[in-house]
Structure 1
Amino acid sequence: MNIETVSTKPIAGQKPGTSGLRKKTATFLEPGYLENYIAAIIEGIGGVEGATMVIGGDGRFGNRQAIKTLVRMLAAAGAKHLIIGQNGLLSTPAASCVIRKRQATGGFIFSASHNPGGEHGDFGLKYNLANGGPAPENVTSAIYKATQTLSSYRIAELDEIDLSDVATVEHDGFVVEVIDPVTDYAALMEELFDFDAISGLFDSGFRLAYDAMHAATGPYAKAILEGRLGAAVGTVRNGEPLPDFGGLHPDPNPVHAKALFDLMAAPEAPDMGAASDGDGDRNLVLGPGLPVSPSDSIAVLAANAHLAPGYERGLAGVARSMPTSRALDRVAEELGISLYETPTGWKFFGNLLDAGKITMCGEESAGAGSDHVREKDGLWAVLLWLNILAVRRQSIPEIVREHWARFGRNYYTRHDYEAIETERAETLMSELTARLASLPGEKAGALTIEGADEFAYHDPIDGSLAEHQGIRILFEGGGRAVFRLSGTGTEGATLRVYLERFEPAGGDHALEPQQALAEIIAAAGEVAGIEKHTGRTAPDVIT
């Protein structure tokens, strides 16, 4: 094949965040922008000579063209075998599944996850390792270093790749295999869950409303829920992946999934509501009249996981990100298993999973997963809930309230202040950091600060240190506020404030979270000077 070497220069700002590089779609469409970043990944991972790579994405605008560019560059770099989801589609957990099943060298995932799509939306690219998990910090640091020194990239001349046809094509020993994106993932789910029991649940009249948000999970949900499990046709809503997600913002939260929340609050609500995000790794679960917070969801799943065949032997351990509520900690204590607290970002769970230290893990940002793949997995979480419901034959509200009665309730909320001017957000964080040593003993609103620190994580497997992972403020009485800047946005900075207090078993578990947390919300705003630094009197999104 003919290979062209193209001269280039470093492009500023190509630093991967917690889930790869995310920018506005228009930025990725700038001449050479995508090519530079792909070349930096190839260099940062030590080359791809002879490699087998999995490629897919969430179907957003630009996905197919970006894949075709990647194919040409991997061919030029000496890769030997590419496995690509049909029409360029692979949900993030399905990509992890295929990488692991096919023993691939790694994988490229084109996605900006829960960010909006379309020509005027967002785009992204991340690299996953051979274990199926996101590249850790030492790899993303090497990729970023390569972006700063790049002087050329190589690209091959190839015949047009037909991504719509499930087929295998060879070009001078270079193999491109287009696969059905659902098959391997669906087979894995059938190994983990009692599909017959779940089918029986649907046969009994159980009603589910699953919103795929015109994103990657639609084909998976239709094939598994409606096809294999027998849920009624129409159970999967917004099931066709669209380049702009049908104008929807594919983030399953009360703002962007409002129609589903309204449905589940209505008198004739179905038995369960669920949704996944743009690339299928997040989940939302709602019972009639009772949304289940992601922090509570992972705790309930861990407490009941033994009811599913894939977890009937119990859990080796569990992990959560630091800002996630401590509801999971109480389950781990009762089960007598280890609990690990990591920074935000699924990549931090990878070493624990690979070492067999944990079986299940989760984040407050609607993420839950297990050792079946190395990504969070939205549809997996929904299927585990269905398996639990099929065995216990109770409603979601009954299961959740029984959980609170047993373990106590961690009242929890997250307040997001979006698109803040980056300098102002960083000033807020730096000034708060500078005051940490003096905060204990101070009053904040009606509360007294008991402790304050900046979270750092020592990986127990490889010994690496991740610093500056969020500020924790502990209040007398057990309340907590956590502050961090998100690494998943593409415009300005997003300040995330996580607020929590514990109500023991036998206490009042019926309060609305914003009401239960009112004093902590006020104290957090005062101690950080949120209004002063951001000009905002209220968050943009509350979850």
Structure 2
Amino acid sequence: MGVQVQKVGTKSFAGQKPGTSGLRKRVPEFQQEHYTENFVQAVLDGGLGSKKKGSTLVVGGDGRFLCKEAVNAIIQISAANGLSRLVVGQDGFLSTPAVSSLIRNLKVDGGIILTASHNPGGPKGDFGIKFNCDNGGPAPDHITDAIYKITTEISSYSICRDVVVDTGVIGHYEFDIEGSGKFVVDVIDSVEDYVELMKSIFDFPAIREYIKSGSGGSELRVLIDSMHGATGPYVSTIFNDLLGCNGSDLLRTVPKPDFGGCHPDPNLTYAKDLVDRLKVGEVDMGAAFDGDGDRNMILGKNAFFVCPSDSLAVIANHIQCIPYFKNRNVVGFARSMPTAAAVDLVAKKKGLQAYETPTGWKYFGNLMDDGRIALCGEESFGTGSIHIREKDGIWALLAWLQILSVQKKSVETIVREHWAEYGRNVFTRYDYENVESGGANLLMTFLEASVNASKGKELSANGVTYKVALTDNFEYTDPVDGSIAKKQGLRVIFEDGSRLVFRLSGTGSAGATIRLYVDSYVSPDDKTKLNASAQDLLRPLVLIALDLCKMEQFTGRKAPTVIT
């Protein structure tokens, strides 16, 4: 007799609408009776649809609080819903890039990722569940819409409570499920597949030799901060075991359910300890990664900050340094709309196509699958390529190291030479996190009217005047499938090409996050501005933006939570 399937009566929960990358809420919300089970059932029904019976999924998460419990629920609900196989990382642990890699390499039907990305973890922190499709990338809008619709109507879910798997032990587990037959759970090494992928993309011997000798005969020191997130085990294997980095330079590599109490977001605010250590000048390069391993921050000696928009453009400019691309037809690059247009200038010079998409990696996925782009990135510290369908923090650092191993120059020198050739897209982002939702929505409603009224006007601050050339709420028509994404961010574009962008982020778990993006182009002929601080160059535009949106009046915030 097979394992019995139990049908459990339930009620719907309000607000289970997946955002930019899945459903993210506070841990106590997911701990409500039936809450997680409801959403998992909706993911299987809405994400797999008619393919659900007999499907195979990859399952893993970033090790944050509640991951193990959620993995067990996914195993039991999948068994009851007729799936044939789950591939689960040991201890339920897999970075987001690793899940995407496994989906693609194993050619399975998708994956479930347990993460809230760069958001804090712990019993009172954030948790999240995200569905990725068979291409390895985040579910597109029509699938997340279907999942959400099911969450509003659900009245029961199916579960096999007697299916028990020790995910701490690598192995093959088989069960006979009443009504559907064999169900398999394969618990695998969490690191192996991803490491093999990186070895196939980069020239590890050349990088190892460069780290050993540097550009001046002394060892290149690379300080890497995993922030107690998902990259720790991958970093230890790749950078210590394979590339010979000093183990003492690999920081916070042990994943913790609460990320050691830190906010696992790799930016100048939350990775301040890394920045301070780079400022001393004893380390050649620094990098930090977020909770689930898909975001990265790159620093040069003396904490020279590489803006993510510049990082994408530099990698694009030197893409032929990476062995993976030498025999591939590179035809285009893409960036999210809020990201500064540095990569567009590289594409233009190389005679390639440049695409501007809404925020969200799922939009890049269509372009990749259609063979239109090889490289893409977002200003929110996300960089990636066609090797998977997620942004990939470790990949970005390895790309930089491969470029350094060929160019034999410092990080700062490469960036400044890039500015000298292409000009500088000066960029900053102000994040106002956990803003009261009512005030945030009122601000955006007011702002849209204010932005539309500013077209053709001159706006001034600190003695600098800009004339508004165009205003809109960004709309994107996908060139592959013709789908339209509307209201993706309010834009004010000035006659000199400078921009202001305002949008509500979809990555928070509570309240609202308002993001203000400011960028301006500096010609390579303007040597003074090329080397000035971004803060000084953009101050007039920031003041104009804050006045335009009346930030303090609507939100009560006198300063942003984070500036990058």
Q: What's the TM-score, normalizing by structure 2?
A: 0.95
Q: Does 1:415 align with 2:410?
A: no
Q: Does 1:534 align with 2:555?
A: yes
State the shift of 1:397 in Å.
0.6
State the shift of 1:435 in Å.
3.7
Q: Which amino acid aligns with 1:286?
A: L
Which of 165, 182, 192 is the aligned partner of 1:183? 192
Q: Would the aligned equivalents of 2:79 and 2:163 in 1 still touch at CA under 8 Å?
A: no
State the shift of 1:478 in Å.
2.1
Indicate the larger mover: 515-524 or 525-534. Answer: 525-534
Aligned length: 542
Residue number in structure 2 paired with 1:30: 32
Matched residues in 1 for 2:460 and 2:510: separation? 32
Matched residues in 2 for 1:436 and 1:512: separation? 28
- Please list, as runs of the form range in 1=range in 2, the aligned pairs for 1:249-328 lying within 5 A after superposition: 249-268=263-282, 270-289=283-302, 290-313=304-327, 315-328=330-343
Which of 356, 370, 373 is the aligned partner of 2:388? 373
Q: Would the aligned equivalents of 2:428 and 2:517 in 1 still touch at CA under 8 Å?
A: yes
- Please list, as runs of the form range in 1=range in 2, the aligned pairs for 1:11-410 lying within 5 A after superposition: 11-45=13-47, 46=49, 48-172=52-176, 173-204=182-213, 205-268=219-282, 270-289=283-302, 290-313=304-327, 315-410=330-425
Indicate the larger mover: 437-446 or 198-207. Answer: 437-446
Q: Would the aligned equivalents of 2:75 and 2:163 in 1 still touch at CA under 8 Å?
A: no
Q: Would the aligned equivalents of 2:451 and 2:548 in 1 still touch at CA under 8 Å?
A: no
Q: Would the aligned equivalents of 1:36 and 1:147 in 2 still touch at CA under 8 Å?
A: yes
Matched residues in 2 for 1:84 and 1:233: separation? 28
Matched residues in 2 for 1:120 and 1:445: separation? 44
State the shift of 1:311 in Å.
1.2
Matched residues in 2 for 1:316 and 1:185: separation? 26
Q: Which amino acid aligns with 2:551?
A: I
Residue number in structure 1 paired with 2:503: 484
State the shift of 1:420 in Å.
1.1
Partner-residue secondary structure (3-state), 1:67:
helix
Note the alpha carbon deviations across 1:137-189, whole angstroms, 9 max, x for none: 00000000001110110001334311111111111121100011111111111
Note the alpha carbon deviations across 1:223-280, whole angstroms, 9 max, x for none: 1111111112223210000101111110001111000111111132x11100110000
Matched residues in 2 for 1:537 and 1:250: separation? 24
Q: Would the aligned equivalents of 2:202 and 2:324 in 1 still touch at CA under 8 Å?
A: yes
Partner-residue secondary structure (3-state), 1:489:
coil
Q: Does 1:471 align with 2:485?
A: no
Partner-residue secondary structure (3-state), 2:530:
coil
State the shift of 1:431 in Å.
1.7
Matched residues in 1 for 2:163 and 2:549: separation? 57
Q: Which amino acid aligns with 1:519?
A: P
State the shift of 1:534 in Å.
1.4
Q: Which amino acid aligns with 2:496?
A: G
Residue number in structure 2 paired with 1:522: 543
Unaligned runs of at least 5 residues, structure 1: none
Unaligned runs of at least 5 residues, structure 2: 177-181, 214-218
Note the alpha carbon deviations across 1:342-361, whole angstroms, 9 max, x for none: 00000110100000000000
Note the alpha carbon deviations across 1:473-527, whole angstroms, 9 max, x for none: 0123221100000001112111000000111112121111111101100111111
Q: Would the aligned equivalents of 1:93 and 1:280 in 2 still touch at CA under 8 Å?
A: yes
Matched residues in 2 for 1:382 and 1:218: separation? 14
Note the alpha carbon deviations across 1:386-430, whole angstroms, 9 max, x for none: 000111110001101000000100110000111111111111111
Question: Kindly, what percent of the aligned residue pairs are identical?
Answer: 49
State the shift of 1:443 in Å.
3.2
Indicate the larger mover: 444-453 or 128-137. Answer: 444-453
Q: What's the TM-score, normalizing by structure 1?
A: 0.98
State the shift of 1:444 in Å.
2.7
Matched residues in 2 for 1:81 and 1:441: separation? 59
Matched residues in 2 for 1:453 and 1:423: separation? 23
Q: Would the aligned equivalents of 1:307 and 1:388 in 2 still touch at CA under 8 Å?
A: yes
Matched residues in 2 for 1:399 and 1:481: separation? 28
Q: Which amino acid aligns with 2:316?
A: A
Q: Which amino acid aligns with 1:285?
A: I
Structure 1 residue runs of 4 or more that deviate by more than 6 Å after TM superposition: none
Which of 460, 471, 476 is the aligned partner of 1:445? 460
After superposition, the CA RMSD in angstroms is: 1.0
Q: Would the aligned equivalents of 1:444 and 1:524 in 2 still touch at CA under 8 Å?
A: no
Q: Which amino acid aligns with 1:77?
A: N
Note the alpha carbon deviations across 1:70-104, whole angstroms, 9 max, x for none: 10000000011110001111100100000000111
Matched residues in 2 for 1:536 and 1:515: separation? 22
Matched residues in 2 for 1:94 and 1:300: separation? 24
Q: Which amino acid aligns with 1:355?
A: D
Matched residues in 2 for 1:523 and 1:282: separation? 30
- Please list, as runs of the form range in 1=range in 2, the aligned pairs for 1:421-432 lying within 5 A after superposition: 421-432=436-447
Matched residues in 2 for 1:400 and 1:414: separation? 20
Matched residues in 2 for 1:244 and 1:376: separation? 23
